[in-house]
Amino acid sequence: MELYQLKTFVVVAEEGHLTRAAERLHASQPTVSAHVKALEEELETRLFIRTPKGMRLTEAGSRLRDKARDVLAAAHGLKLEARNMGGELVGELSIGLNTDAEYLRIVPLLNSMTEQHPKITLQIQQSASTKVQGLINQGKLDCGFIFGPPRHTDLHAVRLEATRFFVAVPDVWKDKIKGGLEALADLPWIMDPTDNPLQLLVEPFFSTRNLKPAYQMEVDGDEVIRVLVAAGKGVSFLRENELKAANRIGVVHAVPFEELTIDLHFVCLKRRDQDPVMRAVIDNVRNIWDLD
């Protein structure tokens, strides 16, 4: 069997559809189908069930997919090891950002990596914490930043800090602050999607006080939430740096609550945390966040 066949198999398994897999692999659909068929014939095992909605893994296919991922990861590691035998690290890594680059100190990280390892290329992708974890687990991202603990047991996590959030109240409702959270609960609230780790804080924050926001508007995107709060469209939870950004647009007041704190982590797959290139990124992240 060939590595390209294993790669095609894994991508088809992840996408569940030949057309989407072909687009991702930059190949034609007949080519992708031929790779899968050749692999099935060599393994003498049916890997997929073809359905009107796409490609569904068989039980054997599901088990072999994980083995195929391990083989591809080992091959990638072998290639990097050979490149790095000369003493200078060479490689590419994709990093998922779960919030704004300034807060995550991405510019200092890029500067540090460029100075120490000029032949390592970092590709940056913006996404939510939950999606970052999923993409890393699927092999579509190499590493990234998340709020809260990892949801996947095969992720290695480096705790960076305890991130504090505040209840952000537009100036138009500043008089409501005197009435405490009960008065603020009657206002419109702007929330992140329900699968955001911040919800682990938000739900008990209200339930322990026997309160529920009268009206919630779900918005996916930190920058949009900041703008809406600054414009007086609702109350939300913002970090200190987000409050400063919001106050450059309008007047926003910060109401502190001790329990509004969640850990920020940098994560990658456990089986890759000792790869030379990944190790270099982890070490630089730790240095940028003053963990050493």
Please give the pLDDT value at position 85: 58
pLDDT at 37 over 80: yes
User: What's the average model confidence in pLDDT over 224-230?
Assistant: 93
The answer to whether 124 and 95 have CB atoms below 8 angstroms apart is yes
Tell whether 157 is covered by a domain. no
Looking at residue 107, what is its pLDDT?
A: 96
pLDDT surpasses 80 at 19: yes
The candidate with the shortest Cα–Cα distance to 201, out of 164, 155, 253, 242, is: 164
Query: Residue 105 pLDDT > 80, yes or no?
Result: yes
CA distances in angstroms from 292 to 79, 157, 160, 287, 289, listed in the order given: 30, 15, 11, 6, 8
Q: Which two tokens stand for residue 143?
A: 């590493």
Pure H helices in 138-221: 180-184, 199-207
Mean pLDDT of 19-24: 88
Q: Are residues 246 and 198 in the same domain?
A: yes
In a domain, 109, yes or no: yes
- Neighbour-count burial of 267, counting CB atoms closer than 10 A to its CB (0-12 exposed, 13-18 middle, 19+ buried): buried
Q: Which domain holds residue 93?
A: 87-147+266-288
pLDDT per residue as tens digits for the range 112-139 = 999 999 989 999 999 888 899 989 988 8
Boundary of a domain, candidates 82, 100, 127: 82
Question: 56 phi and psi, to 5 degrees?
Answer: -115, 130
Does pLDDT of 206 surpass 70?
A: yes
Asked if residue 60 and residue 43 are part of one domain, the reply reads: yes
Neighbours of 94 (CB within 10 A): 16
Domain-terminating residue out of 82, 98, 122: 82
What percentage of residues in the chain have a pLDDT greater than 90? 52
Residue bearing the bigger pLDDT, 122 or 1: 122
| Cα end-to-end distance, the chain, whole Å | 44
Instruction: Tell me, yes or no, whether 64 and 112 share the same domain.
Output: no
Q: What is the pLDDT of residues 152-201, one digit of tens each?
A: 888 999 999 999 999 999 999 999 999 999 999 999 999 887 677 777 78
The tokens for 86 are: 């000369």
> Residue type at 116?
Q
Whether residue 229 is contained in a domain is answered as yes
In a domain, 155, yes or no: no
Mean pLDDT of the chain: 89
Task: Taking residues 202-212, report their average pLDDT.
Answer: 88
Same domain, 50 and 113: no
The four Cα atoms 237, 241, 243, 247 give a dihedral, to 10 degrees, of: -160
Asked, for residue 234, whether it belongs to a domain, the answer is: yes
Pair (258, 167) in one structural domain:
yes
246 shares its domain with 193: yes
Same domain, 97 and 183: no
Q: Identify whether 153 is part of a domain.
A: no
**pLDDT of 212:** 87
Per-residue model confidence (pLDDT) at position 26: 86
Q: Are residues 253 and 176 in the same domain?
A: yes
The domain total for the chain is: 3
Same structural domain, 68 and 126: no
CATH number where 36 lies: 1.10.10.10
Question: Does 73 have pLDDT greater than 90?
Answer: no
CATH value at residue 103: 3.40.190.10
Residue that is last in its domain, among 82, 111, 128: 82
* Shared domain check, 232 and 99: no
51 and 99 within one domain: no
pLDDT number for residue 157: 96
Q: Say if residue 138 is exposed, middle or buried (CB neighbours under 10 Å; 0-12, 13-18, 19+).
A: middle
pLDDT tier, 87 (very low <50, low <70, confident <90, very high otherwise): low
| Phi, psi of 36, deg, nearest 5 | -65, -45
pLDDT at 151 exceeding the cut of 90: no
Quickly list H helices, 84-233: 106-116, 129-137, 180-184, 199-207, 222-230
pLDDT of residue 172: 94
Does some domain include residue 233?
A: yes
pLDDT for position 220: 78
Q: Which of 292, 284, 275 shows the shortest CA–CA distance to 115? A: 284
pLDDT at 194: 66
* 238 vs 139: CA distance, rounded Å: 31
Specify the pLDDT at position 83. 62
Please tell me whether residues 250 and 271 are part of one structural domain.
Answer: no
152 found inside a domain: no
